[in-house]
Structure formats: C-alpha cells, structure tokens
Amino acid sequence: MINETALSRFLRYARIDTQSKDEADEYPSTKKQYDLLNLLLRELRELGIADADIDKHGYVMATVPSNLPPGHPAAGKVPKIGFIAHVDTSPSASGTGVNPQVLTYRGGDIVLPGDNSVVILEDENPELARNLNQEIVTGDGTTLLGADDKAGIAIIMTLAQTLVNSPGIPHGDIRIAFTPDEEVGNGTKYFDIKAFGADFAYTIDGDTPGELNKETFSADGATITVHGRNIHPGSAKDIMVNSIRALADIIARLPRAMAPETTEGYEPYIHPHIIEGEEAKSTLRLLLRDFKTDGLAKQAEMLRAIIAEVQPFHPKARIELKISESYRNMRYWLDKDQRGLHAMEEATRRAGLEPKWVPIRGGTDGSRLTERGLPCPNIFTGGQNYHGPTEWLSVDGMNSSVRTVVHLAQVWVELCSQ
C-alpha cells in the first residue's frame, strides 16, 4: 500500500459498501461506513502518519507534517492546508456488491455487463470523447460506482503517499479529513474545525477534469404534509378526506420550468424528491435551490401560494409547510480571500489542464465549512454521472487531480516565499 496507484486504491475502496441513509437516528447514519473509515485510518498509519486518528463521530483526520527546513523563506508562514473527501455513497442507488469494470474506451455507447438495459450513452456524455483510447472505470449496471467520492479519497491518499515518499517536494502542514454522511446532508454535522486546524481547505468532490468550484447553490429543504381522514371506501362519501389527492394537486402546480430536468447553469429549481403517504396523511419533501440566497424565500412563497390555491378544493384537509435551512453558497465567503482560489488555478495549469470555474448545481461539505469559517472550494476528481448506475470515472482525470493537489501543496509554499 506504500506505492499504490490512485486507480488501485479506488478499485479497492469502491467495493466497500458505504451507502448512507436518510432520516437516520444514529450518526453516522449507517455503521458500514466505518468499514472504509477504519481502513483509511490503518492505511494512513501504514504510511507513517503518526497522528492519524478517528473520533467518536467517525471523522478520520491526519497530518502530513511540513518538510520545510528552518531558514526556508516560507517556514512558519505557510498556512495549514486541508484536503477533505467523504466516504459515503448516495442512497439513490445500491452500493452493495459494487463490481468496478476497468476498460479502454474505444468509442460509442457502453453497455454494462450486469444489466444490458443500463447503457452509458455517448451522446449524453461529451467527456467520453476526451477519453478515447484511455482507461475508464464503470460499474456493472446493477449499482452505482462510488466515484462520488471514493475517487476523491483515492486522490487524497495518493497525495499523502506521494508527499511521504518524496521529501524533495516542499510543503507545509497538510491536513487530511474523511467524513461520513455527506450524501444525506450531514457530512459536517460534528466536524470539529478547531481540531482540524486548517487555515484553508479543499474538498476533492468535483467531476470533469480542469473544472474548479467556488460557488454552490444556496439550499433549503421544504416539507409539505397533508392531513386527511381515512374510512372504508365503501362508506366514504362526504367523510373521507384523501390526503393523496390534495398532495397530487399541489405537485401538479409546481413550476415545470423550475425543475432540475429543465434547468442548467445558474438557473434555480424546486425539486420534489421524496413522497410518502396514504389517505390519512401524505408527505412531500422538496429541494429548494438558488445561487442567490434571497431566491429561496421567493421559492418558499411560491409554495405557500400553491397551497393557498389548492386548499379550497380540499377544505377538510389540513396542509402544513415546513422550511429548513440546508447550506449556503460558499462564494459569499470565498470572494473575501482569494489566495486559495488563485493557488487552485495555478496548480491546475501545472497539472497540464486549463482551469475552468463552474458553479456546482448542488453542494459539498465545503459549503457548510466555508460558512462556518473554513474556506473550502472544490476540486475535480474525473467522475461523471454520480448517484446512478451509469456513473463512470476517467482514470486520466483522477490522475490529473492527483497532480493538481501535489502541485497545490507546492504553490502555497511559493506564495508564502515571496
């Protein structure tokens, strides 16, 4: 494990089921996340990283100590730089029995061997053309792959291995953290920023090579609950209050032009993503997303207006709306200190890529960490099509990310040597 490639690490990590769970009472939400967390702890220690540890919430943290000698122009000046990735995979698709497939992409669609109805379509994946005759990794079609974010983990572990094995690469203190439960919105719930001790950090949780992220959606969650009344259908006339019908009328009025499937770039959306219910009670959970935080209040008002419109059609139903804050656009804080952003750009160029700033139509652990005082933009991994069985990973993209983060450690030294 001292001289592994990022690919071999990723393949090993991908086979470990770490799927998190929504609405869980425990933290992490699934015990199986510890299978990978504890493995990473052992591997960090095998690399000779003496302070590698895991806390009671499952956060693994470690330090690759600075190798700057006394008298170096940057000694004592380089901020502690952190690199963060999450171990859990999305509840949206199975993470059990992941069977990674390594292949050289020769063009065309990719039919996955475990389920021939699952196809990675060439016309939906422009990044495939950039990987012609290159190695990529897919699942077998029956599960997700887990590049989100086990590719990020493999990249950070390879960074640690590179710095430990190459004392000639100058760097300050490098902090590492692996978190649980990012996919269910709780990746930073118990993250101890003070104990982590970094001055600036990066999540390795992006996708397309060369793309860097300094802005995310601002996000709220909305829950609409309809209370009705159930009775046997045979005697239901003028008595039953069917909550499902009322909720269906609400869903039908959601703006179709503000859905994930009809928006892109900086366009906001309202996304109904979980529905549960029967006649007496039905619940709809929605994601509210806008790059402008004040847009979330407008979306909440839209929901209230829809409920007010539907209520007269179901006068005996009781309809409740609850809004909860999720995370905020990290750009509000990152714009205040752009040193880390300039370092990202330079490191990406040195890795042989042209940096491109792209907004994240989602969030990362870095969204909340930035809001809480730890600046934390996001770096690409090479993965695509996250959260489903057509997920795939560019091996060259993952290796480019390794080169980027290795350069990044050196760029910070140079910035502080001036």
Active-site annotation, residues: 88, 182
What phi and psi, each to the nearest 5 degrees, are found at residue 51? -95, 10
Nearest one of 4, 196, 128, 163 to 384, comparing CA atoms: 128
What's the residue count for the chain? Answer: 418
Residue burial 191-202, b: 16+ Cβ < 10 Å; e: rest: beeeebebbbbb
The half-sphere exposure of 173 on its side-chain side, counting CA atoms within 13 A, is: 14
> Cβ(193)–Cβ(368) under 8 Å?
no
Distant-in-sequence, close-in-space partners of 243: CB < 8 Å, separation ≥ 6: 226, 227, 228, 277, 278, 279, 280, 281, 282, 317
Nearest one of 16, 18, 43, 13 to 28, comparing CA atoms: 18
> Cβ(18)–Cβ(88) under 8 Å?
yes
Q: What single string gives the DSSP state of each residue in 62-111?
A: EEE---PPTT-TTTTTSPPEEEEEE--B-TTS--TT---EEEE--SS-EE
> Cβ(259)–Cβ(270) under 8 Å?
yes
Nearest one of 205, 213, 210, 207 to 365, comparing CA atoms: 205
CB count in 10 Å sphere of residue 79: 17
Please list the residues that pair with 269 across neighbouring strands: 289
Please state at what angle helix 6-14 crosses helix 395-415, rounded to 10 degrees: 120
